[in-house]
Structure 1
Amino acid sequence: MLADGIVKAIGVSFLAMVAIALTGCRHQEPVVQAGETITIRLSGWQSNPNEKQLLDQVIRDFEAKNPTIKVKYEVINSEYMDVIKTRLIGDVAPDVFYLDAFEAPLLMKYDVLEPLDRYITPDFDLADFEPSLLKAFQSKGKLFGLPKDFSTLALFYNKKAFATAGITQPPKTWNEFLTDAKKLTIDRNKDGKIDQYGFGVAPELARQTIMIQAFGGSLINSQGYATFAEPESIKGLQLIVNQYRGDRSSAQPTDVGATWGSEMLGQGRAAMVIEGPWSIPYFKETFSKLDFATAEVPTVNGKPRTMAFTVAYVMNRKTKHKQAAWKLIAYLTGKEGMKTWAKQGLALPSRRSVLATTGYNKNPLYAPFAKGAGYATIWQAGENLPTIRMNFNNQFISALLGEQPLSNAMKKAQETANKEIYLSN
């Protein structure tokens, strides 16, 4: 569900060119004659065929209620944000589009989004949204996007593997998790070739931020520079490296020929993974015989921690049909539209009332994700996060493979990231 990748060159070009473009005159909304049909262009990505089918249904419902507005929906699955940025530069961007919280700070800073505050009325019930999700799309006192849904992370585990290992309940603390992972790691032929790992680890910043924060570390400072190489951050990350290299009770997906953690669990190559709710329909469709369950991510250093990923609908500031664009956003993120959209089960509705009516917060598989919303860290850390993430991921994997000590790898990643950030300012 989350959009991935920013090409640095395009990012720099975007900043320079959009700043020039925005010095020009603002677009005036054309006068629409009574009965005239308006076409609104909507762009997003698709992570599952069901996602497009459900969105198409919501759009048809909207068009039925608004017969003078037609919606042209375009799916962009390859280099989504690069395409959006390029179109913003060329003044051909869609009227409404998806925006990941990860990417939001850059676009909010450069004023390419229409503030939504003046369109929102009391009956829209803005207070119904999870506050932390709204905050991800706020800047300088203005709201630039309405979150369509969100996902947190939870522990998925193979119930049969747990029973075989004599484990009666999922681990609640990281120490219990490490102990269980050892019990779940199986070398059937005793030849050093592990058949089942206790844990399938995702060695990327979007998953390891909770380990950075566990002992008081931070990802960035107030100036937007990376700080993940500090001793407090290393302490949490070292737990991941020690498990992988010392205990040998965890593996990366690439170690076993898988593409992601849930595939490892489905194939029986890992007994536990930390993933989002998008894995639930994936398991049901791809590994229908897998008997799995979910639990909250084990506490690290005594505190509950998870990540939250959210995507909003935003309005192009230069759209010529702002009122129509707002009507679309309001319906898509309103209670009726969101309830229809939430049927997919790939993510959770961002409105509390819809979350309650759908029953996800009481469903044993989804409840750990819903509960995590109250303490999750939003996957967002300013406009420099793409640069920080790229450098972290490259060096952390190197440390995980034993090519260099973790402290050296993180120092190198931090210094390189901060140099790039300094040069781009």
Structure 2
Amino acid sequence: MRKSLLNFIGLVVAIALSIIGCNYLPLSTKSPTVNITTIKLSGWSASPAEQRLLKSVLRDFEVQHPSIKVKYEVIADQYMDVIKTRLVGEAAPDVFYLDALEAPFLMSQDVIEPLDTYIKPEFDLPDFQEALLNTFKYKNSIYGLPKDYSTLALFYNKQAFANAGLENPPTTWEELRADAKKLTKDTNNDGRIDQYGFGETPELARQAYKIKAFGGELIDSNSRANFANQQALQGLQVVVDQYQKEHSSVQKSDVGTNSGTEMFGQGKAAMVIEGNWAIPFLKETFPNLGFATAEIPKVNKKLGTMIFTVAYVMNKQSQHKPEAWELISYLTGKQGMQKWTGTGFALPTRQSVAANLGYEQDPLRSSLVAGVNYGTPWQVGKFPAAITNNFDNQFISAMLGEQTLMQAMEKAQNQANQLIKTLD
């Protein structure tokens, strides 16, 4: 009996010690395993400051989405050629930039994932500017969400205007031409013009709204070039006349600069038409330049400008579509877009974000924001290179007086359409 009692007491003590020991066991510090999915994002190169900003936005995304890692790749040269080659070879990134100019072709090739089924009501699709969103629609489906945009506005040198006795920027193209004459000067009195009134960029991307102002078109319903008609010529003739007859406008090559913005910053042109990208460049490179912006003067009594925009799109062959959508929806959502556009590198495509940032009241950006309501989206069908290259080459020839404007546009149109015929 005594032995049984001792055994029982021993058992109780053993159990008690076991329980006490369990209470003092160290807790496990091992975190639960998280399966990480890496998705690839590709874009083109930009300024170092812009690249740093994007990487910061991507870090924020990864913090909020710990199961997703973003590998960001910059394609420095021949961006679209590289993307197209990789799409064919099934090696394209999960998400990539797509410029509006290139969108019609890729959307028609069934290589981009339609986003309609991913977009839920809480994403607030109506918050996007309609003109920008429509740029990435094809056959009633949405193939891309615009990440930012810019229109064009008139940039003018305030000191040059004051010196010429001009108080306000021009509001019509006739006024611009008159002002340009007053602003064209030999300021050094050495017999050479060193300040032209207007800096012209003779590219279709900067001339299309003038063609539209007279009822002209850039392409027909079959994506063929269609700018050698009387309506288009009316819009372009004002450019040629100002350059050839009035000598109050100048091209970048005439004054040894690399861009219209640089021409303006160096004081070689008192007015230029540029986009939002010019603002940070001018402030950083020419900090003492006093400049202002205004909406582009009316052409043929019509407001006009160009709309340039870029979207995030999803590779249809992506193996990580849910994660790719998470990235796209964050970058084009209200939070991600506010951080991306908050420093002024680009304008937000969401109306709520633009309102939060106050760009409609911004003295330098309000003219650019206004243009989104009436601008011409920069798209010329499925074969943009054939159309833009031929136009640009022949239009410069006409400006230089090597052929008439009619001859130049007929040649550009014919050559573009012959090339398109081989591509279609």
TM-score of the superposed pair, with normalisation by structure 1: 0.91
SS in 2 for 1:417: helix
SS in 1 for 2:156: strand
Counterpart residue identity of residue 348, structure 1: L
**What residue in structure 1 maps to residue 264 of structure 2?**
265
Q: How far does residue 211 in structure 1 lie from its aligned partner after superposition?
A: 1.4
**What residue in structure 2 maps to residue 418 of structure 1?**
417
Q: How far does residue 191 in structure 1 lie from its aligned partner after superposition?
A: 5.9
**What residue in structure 2 maps to residue 348 of structure 1?**
347
Pair 1:146 & 2:145 matched? yes
Contact 1:279 1:346 in 2 (8 A): no
Q: How far does residue 192 in structure 1 lie from its aligned partner after superposition?
A: 5.0
**What residue in structure 2 maps to residue 393 of structure 1?**
392
The residue correspondences of 1:93-172 to structure 2 (distance < 5 A) are: 93-172=92-171
Q: 2:237, 2:188 → 1: CA distance?
A: 30
Q: How far does residue 46 in structure 1 lie from its aligned partner after superposition?
A: 2.7
Contact 1:391 1:416 in 2 (8 A): yes
Residues 52-99 of structure 1: CA distance to partner in whole angstroms, max 9, x if unpaired? 111111101100010010001111121111111111122111000000
Counterpart residue identity of residue 317, structure 1: K
**What residue in structure 1 maps to residue 63 of structure 2?**
64
**What residue in structure 1 maps to residue 180 of structure 2?**
181
SS in 2 for 1:416: helix
Moved more, 339-348 or 166-175: 339-348
Q: How far does residue 187 in structure 1 lie from its aligned partner after superposition?
A: 2.1
SS in 2 for 1:119: coil
**What residue in structure 1 maps to residue 74 of structure 2?**
75
Q: 1:342, 1:174 → 2: CA distance?
A: 31
Q: 2:68, 2:383 → 1: CA distance?
A: 38
Contact 2:380 2:387 in 1 (8 A): no
The residue correspondences of 1:12-411 to structure 2 (distance < 5 A) are: 35-188=34-187, 193-411=192-410
**What residue in structure 2 maps to residue 9 of structure 1?**
none
Q: How far does residue 47 in structure 1 lie from its aligned partner after superposition?
A: 2.4
Counterpart residue identity of residue 334, structure 1: G
Counterpart residue identity of residue 64, structure 2: K
Q: 2:321, 2:135 → 1: CA distance?
A: 22
Q: 2:188, 2:62 → 1: CA distance?
A: 61
Report percent identity of matched pairs. Answer: 59
Counterpart residue identity of residue 263, structure 1: E
Q: 2:306, 2:365 → 1: CA distance?
A: 15
SS in 2 for 1:364: coil
Largest Rg, 1 or 2: 2
Contact 1:51 1:344 in 2 (8 A): no
Counterpart residue identity of residue 81, structure 2: D
Q: How far does residue 384 in structure 1 lie from its aligned partner after superposition?
A: 1.9
Q: 1:363, 1:192 → 2: CA distance?
A: 40
Moved more, 212-221 or 371-380: 212-221
Q: 1:188, 1:327 → 2: CA distance?
A: 57
Q: 2:399, 2:76 → 1: CA distance?
A: 30
TM-score of the superposed pair, with normalisation by structure 2: 0.91
Unaligned runs of 5+ residues in structure 1 are: 1-32
Query: Alpha carbon RMSD of aligned pairs, Å?
Result: 1.2
Counterpart residue identity of residue 311, structure 2: A
Q: 1:157, 1:49 → 2: CA distance?
A: 27
Q: 1:140, 1:312 → 2: CA distance?
A: 17
Q: 1:137, 1:354 → 2: CA distance?
A: 20
Q: How far does residue 289 in structure 1 lie from its aligned partner after superposition?
A: 0.4
Q: How far does residue 196 in structure 1 lie from its aligned partner after superposition?
A: 0.3
Residues 263-287 of structure 1: CA distance to partner in whole angstroms, max 9, x if unpaired? 0111010000000011000011000
Q: 1:411, 1:327 → 2: CA distance?
A: 48
SS in 2 for 1:72: strand
Paired residue total:
393
Q: 2:143, 2:90 → 1: CA distance?
A: 19
Counterpart residue identity of residue 345, structure 2: L
Q: 1:210, 1:401 → 2: CA distance?
A: 22
Unaligned runs of 5+ residues in structure 2 are: 1-31
Q: 1:224, 1:192 → 2: CA distance?
A: 48
Q: How far does residue 230 in structure 1 lie from its aligned partner after superposition?
A: 0.2
